[in-house]
Amino acid sequence: MPPQRGRHFLQIPGPTNVPDRILRVLNAPTIDHRGPEFNHLASGVLDGLKGIFRTSGPVVIFPASGTGAWEAALVNTLTPGDKVLMFETGQFAILWRDLAERLGLDVDFVPGDWRTGADPETVEERLNEDREHKIKAVCVVHNETSTGVASRIKEIGEAIGRSGHPALFMVDTISSLASIDYRQDEWGVDVTVAGSQKGLMLPPGLAFNGIGEKALKAAKSARLARSYWDWEAMLTMNADGWFPYTPATNLLYGLREAIAMLDEEGLDKVFARHARLGEATRRAVTTWGLEILCRNQAEYSASLTAVMVPEGCDADALRRVILDAFNMSLGNGLGKLKGRVFRIGHLGDFNDLMLAGTLSGVEMGLALAGVPHSKGGVAAALDYLAGTLKAGEVVEMAGRARA
Ligand SMILES: *Cc1c(COP(=O)(O)O)cnc(C)c1O
């Protein structure tokens, strides 16, 4: 393979492009994690995360991939045999379900079509039917990264509230945190599951749990075995700015920088930026005459778009052509979607011209790979991007993202 010049376009929906500012701070000497400089670093990031999670409660950080945060959420709050309600939104929901079953939980898995999100009405019905309060937790993936469908967490939280059911509400925000509006406290979420390598613009390696009061209380009587993931040891040490075991020190340098970048931009602007880039992407896709996997406009993901290829075409062959010809990685179809979709990540450290480059690579790739499509997708996206740049409209979009 000849060497590729210029930047690789990492347009999978996580890990995302790590900004230079973060790469530079990662490259500092590792320090003593029992010394004063570390203490200052840890206190700062533990405090700064609360604003990103929109919670007044603690957020804990594990050296792990996002999967660790899934496990930590369950083992700290539940007891073997507990019933949990989960929703088949796509491949990530299936993986979380499998993990829960391996831990010895009794999962009621509500089937789904992989094209719509978890339904708030179904949540309410299931909880209302459960008069004996056998269900101990409702677990939902906010942004289903395998399908580009974002479940309506606020509405699901309201449905749980209306039911008066005591189940805990746990939400996987691994590919939505710092990309799509999310409010742990306001929306009644008890445990937030997150990871470093998507909206937070960091390399993989950090996993997070945002922990509400009700979850802290549940942890006191939960009997699933836990050691590495134990919140109690972590929270006790974190209270003074320390960790119970060696933290991922250099990633915490990066986290400090990521929090600073998100604060400088403002979370509402971050959400509006993602929403606008998502809309531009969808305009390109529909102009190409290809189908967006997400069926419900109210559930379009602002962090990625999953695109179906026409019958008889292989999405992986298309991705291969695009990688070889243009040095760009797109997301593959996961689970039962293998070969049927490709996914365009438009989250993290990402702007208009990066999207223009990304969509150009896709449009040229469609032609090279012989995938039937109409031209003009990139032009449609550019028209939308230019047309929405008027200052007043950008402000209005920020308002919509807040609403
Ligand atoms: C990426 C992702 C995960 C898995 O995270 P890992 O870091 O690969 O363990 C889980 N859930 C969602 C929604 C994701 O996007």
The residue type of 127 is L
pLDDT per residue as tens digits for the range 85-129: 999 999 999 999 999 999 999 999 999 999 999 999 999 999 999
Number of domains the chain contains? 2
Whether 1 maps to a domain, the answer reads: no
Owner of token pair 């206190």 = 43
| 218 and 325 together in one domain | no
Note whether 255 and 386 are same-domain residues. Answer: no
Q: Is residue 2 part of a domain?
A: no
The answer to whether residues 221 and 164 belong to one domain is yes
Quickly state the pLDDT bin for 181 (edges 50, 70, 90): very high
14 C-beta closer than 6 A to ligand 1: yes
Whether residue 4 lies inside any domain: the answer is: no
Residues 6+ apart with CB under 8 A from 139: 73, 84, 85, 86, 87, 96, 100, 170, 171, 172
| d(CA 99, ligand 1 centre) in Å | 13
Asked if residue 374 and residue 354 are part of one domain, the reply reads yes
Q: Domain with 147 in it: what CATH number?
A: 3.40.640.10
**145 Cβ inside 6 Å of ligand 1:** yes
Do 270 and 375 belong to one domain? Answer: yes
What are 61's strand-pairing partners?
208
Last residue of a domain, one of 203, 229, 264: 264
Task: Please state whether beta strands 143-144 and 135-141 pair in parallel, antiparallel, or not at all (unpaired).
Answer: unpaired
Tell me how long the chain is. Answer: 403
Name the amino acid, one letter, at 112: G
Mean pLDDT computed over every residue of the chain = 96
Q: Ligand 1 centre and the CA of 92: distance in Å?
A: 7
Please say whether the beta carbons of 300 and 337 come within 8 A. Answer: no
How far, in Å, is the centroid of ligand 1 from the Cα of 174? 6
Q: What is the pLDDT of residue 394?
A: 60
* Helix intervals (H) in 239-338: 249-265, 267-288, 315-326
Note the pLDDT tens digit of each residue in 345-396. Answer: 999 999 999 999 999 999 999 999 999 999 999 999 999 999 998 665 666 6
Query: Of all protein residues, whose CA lies closest to atom 2 belonging to ligand 1?
Result: 174
The answer on 294 and 227 residing in a single domain is no
74 CA distance to ligand 1 middle (Å):
15
Give the mutation target among 175, 206, 301 for probing the ligand 1 site: most ligand atoms within 8 A of CB: 175
Q: Are residues 65 and 133 in the same domain?
A: yes
Cβ-contact 145, 333 below 8 angstroms: no
Same domain (yes/no): 235, 183: yes
Averaged pLDDT, 47-51 = 98
Last residue within a domain, chosen from 198, 229, 264: 264
| Token pair for 27 | 């490259």
Are 48 and 165 within one domain?
Answer: yes
Claim to verify: residue 254 and residue 369 sit in the same structural domain? no
401 confidence band (pLDDT: 50, 70, 90):
low
279 and 340 both lie in a single domain:
yes
CA angle 384, 385, 387 (to 5 degrees): 60
3 belongs to a structural domain:
no
Residue that finishes a domain, picked among 245, 264, 283:
264
Say which amino acid occupies 21. R
| Same-domain status, 132 and 243 | yes
Domain coverage including residue 54: 20-264
Which 3 state secondary structure label does DSSP give 292? strand
Which CATH number fits the domain that encloses residue 362?
A: 3.90.1150.10
**Cβ atoms < 10 Å from Cβ of 233:** 16
